Amino acid sequence: MVWRRKLLLIFAPLLFTASAQAEDKEPTAIVELGAAGEWGLPGASSFGPSLAVEFTPIKEWLEIEGGVAPMFRGGRSEWDTDLLFKKPFTLSDKVEFMVGVGPQWTFSPEGTKIAGEFALDFMFWPTSDRKYGWFLEPSYSYSFSRGHEQSLGVSLGLLISIP
């Protein structure tokens, strides 16, 4: 009889944990595959593919996104990377909105530039299982390097949930 109580005490928390995870629809991570564009203020524009991964360390309070985008214009290229800290807001079962800020690094033949980035992230989930969706992310960046370049950017594409 005593060993049954001990087993119950050991396995009861596991049952509640499994139940809570089954109710929770949050994926381990979300992959963002898409295209990005950037327009200097004033200046030239550049375009390229984008890849980002985000995860939620604190549910309903913090999402962290790391991304990279090789940008091309007029025969030259540069690599933009960023790390955004976002506050999520659930607008409906199918729409999420996030406000984010963080550092951005740009690697080009002219050298490395460090900037601050502000972004708005809209996520649209057409189905209730939230396996696939799409995103739209406008952004503004301000370079701390010489010249203090400023730019507006936008990325959009496909969302893929990683369970």
Give phi and psi for 144, each to the nearest 5.
Answer: -90, -5
Task: Tell me the residue type at 74.
Answer: G
Residues 30 and 158: their CA atoms lie apart, in Å, by 10
Cβ contact 82:104 at 8 Å: yes
Exposed / middle / buried, residue 136 (Cβ in 10 Å: 0-12, 13-18, 19+): middle
Question: In the prediction, which pLDDT does 41 show?
Answer: 92
Beta strands (DSSP E) in 12-94 are: 29-40, 45-58, 62-73, 76-90
In order along its 163 residues, the chain shows pLDDT tens digits of 544 443 344 444 444 434 344 445 689 999 999 999 999 998 889 999 999 999 999 999 999 999 999 999 988 999 999 999 999 999 999 999 999 999 999 999 888 999 999 999 999 999 989 999 999 999 999 999 888 999 999 999 999 999 9
Domain 26-162 has CATH 2.40.160.20: yes
For the chain, the structural domain boundaries read: 26-162
Question: What digits encode the pLDDT tens for the residues 10-54?
Answer: 444 444 434 344 445 689 999 999 999 999 998 889 999 999 999
CA distance 91 to 55: 19
Phi–psi pair at 129, nearest 5 degrees: -75, -15
Q: What is the pLDDT of residue 19?
A: 39
Name the pTM for this structure: 0.82
Q: What is the pLDDT of residue 24?
A: 58
- Residue 111 tokens, joined: 């050298």
